[in-house]
């Protein structure tokens, strides 16, 4: 049996298929890891309320959400990193001038700054979470926001990257990008958990496939890129497994000796 380790899993394209299904072998693997005494955690760009059902199904209570901006260990919030409010107000004004809507997100809910927009519908529907953001253009003004979604076509985020140094922009859909505090990442959120749990570097594992997994996969000692990841992401990982559609997570766990 392998030594007890901590393993971080991305959700979309890693735990879940592109149709947002949880493969039977993936679920079996998670519980096998837990029964062996390993610490199993999630590291995602999603909001906490976007994967509550998955956490319950897999009995996982430790997670990095919002690409590292909201971190929970065994059900307790241990780190928060909110967006700069004055900069968010300026970003909102610029985006509205460009007909680029935004969705503001805290740990409990999300609200859009426009009543409706085709980009919001197109991208949010791919998450299959059963909810869309209601309209409240002032939602961000009296609470901490950990991530904002900016809806614009590929390449259009460049103008925002040049203008807003307080934020990082990470594309997750052809018409949508995550806006997070500059320098924030899943890797930074994972550091907060590791500080508490104390697992040595050689007993840390991470699985992912997206652009927002780059820092995580390049910093974690045993990193595994899914077969459906881009070549750019595969290049920074230590191992590459099969596609999520081909039980890549289960096979990846076998590859690194955890199963």
Is the model's pLDDT at 90 over the cut of 90? yes
* Domain CATH for 126: 3.30.1240.10
In a domain, 234, yes or no: yes
| 126 located within any domain | yes
DSSP letters, 118-163, are: HHHHHHHGGG--S--PEE-TTGGGGS--SEEEE---TTTTHHHHHH
Report if residue 1 sits inside a domain: no
pLDDT > 90: percent of the chain: 97
Q: Give me the CATH number covering residue 241.
A: 3.40.50.1000
Q: In this structure, how many other beta carbons lie within 10 angstroms of the beta carbon of residue 143?
A: 13
Cα 141 from Cα 149, distance rounded (Å)? 16
Asked whether residue 162 falls in the same domain as residue 190, the answer is no
- Looking at the structure, tell me whether residues 74 and 142 fall in a common domain: no
Residues 173, 135 share a domain: yes
3-state helix, strand, coil in the chain (%, to 5): 40, 25, 40
* 172 and 221 part of one domain: no
End-of-domain residue from the set 138, 159, 181: 181
What is the mean pLDDT of the segment spanning 60-86?
A: 97
Q: What's the whole-number mean pLDDT along residues 141-167?
A: 96
Shortest CA distance to 101 belongs to which of 67, 139, 72? Answer: 139
> Domain check: are 94 and 151 in the same one?
yes
What is the domain count for the chain? 2
Whether the pLDDT of residue 3 is over 90: the answer is no
For residue 130, being part of any structural domain is answered with: yes
CA–CA separation, 14 and 241 (whole Å)? 11
Last residue of a domain, one of 127, 155, 181: 181
Q: The tokens of 101 are what?
A: 């809507």
In a domain, 165, yes or no: yes
Distance of CA 53 to the CA centre of its chain: 16
Return the pLDDT at 42: 98
**What would the two tokens of residue 129 be?**
């979470």
Residues 26 and 89 in one domain: no
- 101 and 174, same structural domain? yes
- Locate tokens 């791919």: which residue? 126
231 given a catalytic annotation: no
Structure token digits, residue 63: 């997670």
Same domain, 94 and 11: no
* 194 and 159 within one domain: no
What value does the mean pLDDT of the chain take?
A: 96
Residues 76 and 188 in one domain: yes
- Active-site hit among 10, 79, 168, 209: 10
Helix/strand/coil for 22 = coil
How much is the pTM?
Answer: 0.92
| Spatial separation of the C-alpha atoms in residues 238 and 60, rounded to whole Å | 25
Beta strand pairing call for 39-43 and 63-65: parallel
Strand bridging mode 204-208 / 222-225? parallel
Percent of the chain with pLDDT over 70: 99
* Residue 99 and residue 67 share a domain: no
pLDDT tens digits for range 207-257: 999 999 999 999 999 999 999 999 999 999 999 999 999 999 999 999 999
pLDDT of 171 over the 50 cut? yes
How far is 208 from 9, CA to CA, in rounded Å? 6
**Domain ranges, residue 233:** 6-80+184-255
- In sign, the C-alpha dihedral spanning 97, 100, 101, 105 is negative
| The 222-225 sheet, strands edge to edge | 76-80, 70-73, 63-65, 39-43, 6-9, 204-208, 222-225, 239-240
Last residue of some domain: 181, 207, 237?
181
In a shared domain, residues 62 and 109: no
């Amino acid at each position: 049996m392998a030594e007890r380790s901590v393993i971080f899993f991305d959700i979309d394209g890693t735990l879940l298929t592109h149709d947002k299904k949880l493969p039977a072998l993936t679920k079996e693997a998670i519980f096998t890891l837990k029964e062996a005494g390993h610490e199993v955690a999630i590291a995602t760009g999603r909001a906490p309320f976007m994967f509550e059902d998955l956490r319950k199904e897999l009995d996982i209570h430790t997670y990095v959400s919002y690409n590292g901006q909201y971190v929970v260990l065994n059900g307790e919030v241990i780190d928060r990193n909110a967006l700069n409010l004055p900069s968010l107000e300026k970003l909102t004004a610029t985006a509205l001038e460009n007909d680029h809507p935004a969705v503001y997100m805290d740990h409990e809910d999300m609200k859009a700054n426009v009543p409706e927009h085709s980009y919001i519908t197109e991208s949010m529907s791919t998450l299959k979470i059963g909810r869309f953001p209601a309209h409240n253009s002032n939602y961000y003004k009296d609470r901490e926001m950990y991530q904002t979604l900016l809806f614009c076509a590929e390449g259009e985020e460049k103008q925002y990257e040049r203008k807003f140094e307080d934020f990082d922009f990470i594309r997750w859909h052809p018409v949508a990008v995550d806006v997070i505090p500059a320098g924030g990442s899943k890797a930074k959120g994972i550091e907060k958990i590791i500080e508490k749990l104390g697992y040595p570097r050689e007993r840390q594992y991470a699985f992912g496939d997206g652009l927002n997994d780059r820092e995580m996969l390049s910093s974690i000692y045993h990193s595994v890129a899914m077969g459906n990841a881009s070549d750019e992401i595969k290049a920074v990982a230590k191992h590459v497994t099969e596609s999520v559609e081909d039980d890549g997570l289960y096979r990846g766990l076998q590859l690194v000796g955890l199963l």
